């Protein structure tokens, strides 16, 4: 039996002799490499926290002492140690989540995949412990150095430090990276700490020398005191944390389990807020990850089977992100005023080639979406046109800045929302299903949803030409949808299908939002085969809606909107409101995502569950058109 096979829960780990831990760490790394390279997932971050997580569960009593991860993609080892070793369906339907999950285990207090939030959770839990007199419990927060670039983390630190009786242990997992190398002043400060691991010994020597020096008058004393302070500041840069009122331990080799365990026991027994600074290596123990400069295998896709003998591998499909990336580089060559902004996701959002081509015009602000939006507003005020590339789910974090900074000041800032709609394996927190709803309320904002690669390029250019309002471009993850050429144009809208049944009246106007155009065209073809007249339009810009859409609707019996977003308050509701304002009595069907937190599964599987497939939509819409036709016929008979 392996060391790993002998573990069923954290109590088994506590009973394991210390000399067996290196072997266990090696087995866990081997397990992770084998399983995650097969299923896909966050490999690099978890290889870097093996010894750290072992020490956490040997020192603290989870779930009595809650262990919280920021972000949660570094929790795979935690899952293994708390009885969840079946990684066969990791991040797939029916399998383990890629993040902590309250549904999976009592050891998971929060589903934390939006960075910089865990210290606020820790603050609240510690306050609850004090109020309810649970003085023997400790809250543990594991924070990546990248997460500390987010302002919310510092708001929480300010509160945690204000109460010395709150038992909070903050473990800074410092690998110098988030997706990419961590940037900014905090990164520089942590780097200085990494360089001064012998500061305690050096400071002790300095103190001894100064204390033994003969006192020859006040000037010498002041000089010696100044030397002491200067030496302390030079070799003890952790003072930034201690000045906040936080006890600091470190830096500690995060791959020395015994050293980490010793530091954690000291922190636990201190009885107040303590920072334990651990230095780790992302991708530790897996040479391809250690040597991968871009993101050290932060997240990897599932392994693909090797092609049969003599078979040529299929060409890689074109990705939405790549289309955006290439067009940004082209635009950068044409416009010297174009600048890019990313929130610690230079490579995932596709801005890395732009940064390489125009290094002075691209800014990584760290995990700080709020700052990114307002800084971009000021860049626009300064005569530039900023493009903020961010995942759709993370736009939620800077809504106020989009509303009250960019829109209120009518500034030309373009927000490009990658991973919009149903994203798949990352689960509830990463589905980009809110933006089409929350952005509807922003005055003046213009919102485009391209259906394919040519439209993405085209509409990105249209967006950056707007200088008196914020613009938004949203597109999903994965392979680009098949190219669909318009068969006509009405106003600013593309007509993708027009099948007229018999006379002048058409049955259904189908409004296809962005990549749902392919699905809608297949729906139209199915319904046309049954003799139903269908017009499919792509509005291209869904905010504001072109008034021609109302005129087009007036020529149809039923209007339906299909979108990859929550149904409440999104494009479907905007279309229905436009028809009500025009006093048109035409039924509107809206198809999208129900307002619920979706689980993790493949995008196509989730869309099928939601009924957003050609077969399901065609059946429902055929029934709707039939009922409307029967109602019209009954009304006409009654009027005679």
Instruction: Point out the residues that are catalytic.
Output: 282, 369, 397
Which residue reads 């209120």 in tokens?
Answer: 408
Residue 451 tokens read as 């259906």
Cα–Cα distance, 230 to 370 (Å, whole number): 36
Edge-to-edge strand ranges of the sheet holding 247-253: 67-70, 139-144, 168-174, 274-279, 247-253
Half-sphere exposure of 231 (CA within 13 A, CB side): 19
Residues 6+ apart with CB under 8 A from 583: none
CA dihedral over 15, 17, 20, 26, signed as positive or negative: positive
Determine whether the annotation assigns residue 107 to a binding site.
no
Determine whether the annotation assigns residue 146 to a binding site.
yes
Determine whether the annotation assigns residue 583 to a binding site.
no
DSSP string, 452-514: SHHHHHHHHHHHHT--SS-EEEE--SSBPPPP---SEEETTEEEEEE---SSS-EEEEEEE-G
**Do residues 373 and 395 make contact, with C-beta atoms less than 8 angstroms apart?**
no
φ/ψ of residue 106, rounded to 5: -70, -15
Determine whether the annotation assigns residue 92 to a binding site.
no
Cα–Cα distance, 439 to 409 (Å, whole number): 16
Determine whether the annotation assigns residue 286 to a binding site.
yes
Residue 525 tokens read as 């073809």
In Å, the largest CA–CA distance within the chain is 118
Determine whether the annotation assigns residue 114 to a binding site.
yes
- Helix (H) / strand (E) containing 291: none
Determine whether the annotation assigns residue 147 to a binding site.
yes
Nearest to 600 by CA among 14, 111, 58: 111
- Give the pairing of strands 67-70 and 471-474: unpaired
Which residue reads 């390029």 in tokens?
Answer: 457
**Do residues 475 and 513 make contact, with C-beta atoms less than 8 angstroms apart?**
no
- Helix (H) / strand (E) containing 8: none
Residues 6+ apart with CB under 8 A from 601: 92, 93, 424, 425, 609
φ/ψ of residue 367, rounded to 5: -80, 75
> Binding site: which residues?
73, 113-115, 145-147, 175, 286, 369
> Binding site for Mg(2+): which residues?
145, 175
> Binding site for thiamine diphosphate: which residues?
73, 113-115, 146-147, 175, 286, 369
């Amino acid at each position: 039996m392996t060391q790993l096979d002998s573990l069923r829960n954290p109590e088994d780990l506590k009973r394991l002799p210390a000399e067996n831990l290196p072997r266990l760490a090696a087995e866990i790394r081997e397990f992770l490499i084998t399983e995650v390279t097969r299923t896909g997932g966050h490999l690099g971050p978890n290889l870097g926290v093996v010894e750290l997580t072992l020490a956490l569960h040997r020192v603290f009593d989870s779930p009595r002492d809650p262990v919280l991860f920021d972000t949660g993609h570094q929790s795979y080892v935690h899952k293994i140690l708390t009885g969840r070793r079946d990684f066969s369906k990791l991040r797939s339907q029916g399998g383990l989540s890629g993040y902590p999950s309250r549904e999976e285990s009592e050891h998971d207090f929060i589903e934390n995949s939006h960075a910089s939030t865990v210290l606020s959770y820790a603050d609240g839990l510690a306050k609850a412990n004090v109020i309810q007199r649970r003085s023997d419990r400790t809250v543990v927060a594991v924070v990546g150095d990248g997460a500390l670039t987010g302002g919310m983390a510092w708001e929480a630190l300010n509160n945690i430090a204000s109460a010395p009786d709150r038992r909070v242990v903050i473990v800074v997992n410092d690998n110098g990276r988030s997706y990419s190398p961590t940037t900014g002043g905090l990164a520089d400060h942590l780097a200085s700490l990494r360089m001064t691991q012998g500061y305690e010994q050096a400071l002790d020597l300095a103190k001894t020398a100064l204390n033994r020096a003969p006192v020859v008058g006040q000037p010498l004393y002041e000089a010696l005191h100044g030397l002491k302070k200067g030496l302390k500041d030079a070799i003890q840069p952790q003072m930034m944390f201690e000045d906040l009122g936080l006890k600091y331990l470190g830096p500690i080799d995060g791959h020395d389990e015994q050293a980490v365990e010793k530091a954690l026991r000291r922190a636990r027994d201190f009885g107040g807020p303590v920072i334990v600074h651990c230095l780790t290596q992302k991708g530790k123990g897996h040479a391809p990850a250690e040597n991968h400069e871009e993101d050290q295998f932060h997240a990897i896709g599932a392994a693909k089977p090797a092609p049969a003998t003599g078979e040529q591998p299929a060409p890689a499909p074109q990705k939405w992100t790549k289309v955006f990336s290439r067009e940004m580089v082209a635009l950068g060559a044409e416009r010297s005023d174009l600048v890019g902004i990313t929130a610690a996701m230079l490579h995932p959002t596709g801005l890395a080639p732009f940064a390489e081509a125009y290094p002075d015009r691209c800014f990584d602000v760290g995990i700080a979406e709020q700052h990114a939006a307002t800084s971009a507003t000021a860049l626009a005020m300064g005569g530039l046109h900023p493009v903020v590339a961010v995942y759709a789910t993370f736009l939620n974090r800077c809504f106020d800045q989009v509303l009250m900074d960019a829109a209120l000041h009518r500034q030309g800032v373009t927000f490009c929302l990658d991973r919009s709609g149903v994203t798949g394996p990352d689960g509830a927190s990463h589905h980009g299903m809110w933006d089409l709803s929350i952005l509807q309320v922003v005055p003046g904002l213009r919102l485009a949803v391209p259906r394919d690669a040519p439209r993405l390029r085209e509409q990105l250019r249209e967006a950056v030409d707007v200088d008196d309002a914020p613009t938004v471009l949203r597109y999903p993850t994965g392979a680009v949808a098949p190219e669909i050429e318009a068969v006509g144009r009405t106003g600013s809208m593309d007509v993708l299908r027009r099948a007229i049944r018999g006379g002048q009246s058409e049955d259904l106007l189908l409004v296809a939002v962005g990549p749902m155009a392919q699905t809608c065209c297949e729906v139209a073809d199915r319904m046309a085969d049954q003799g139903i007249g269908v017009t499919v339009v792509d509005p291209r810009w869904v905010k504001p809606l072109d008034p021609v859409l109302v005129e087009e609707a007036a020529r149809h019996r039923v209007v339906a909107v299909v979108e990859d977003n929550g149904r409440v308050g999104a494009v479907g509701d905007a279309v229905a409101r436009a028809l009500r304002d025009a006093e048109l009595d035409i039924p509107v069907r809206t198809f999208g995502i129900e307002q619920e937190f979706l689980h993790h599964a493949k995008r196509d599987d989730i869309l099928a569950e939601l009924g957003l497939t050609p077969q399901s939509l065609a059946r429902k819409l055929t029934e709707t058109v039939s009922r409307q036709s029967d109602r019209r016929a009954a009304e006409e008979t009654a009027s005679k």
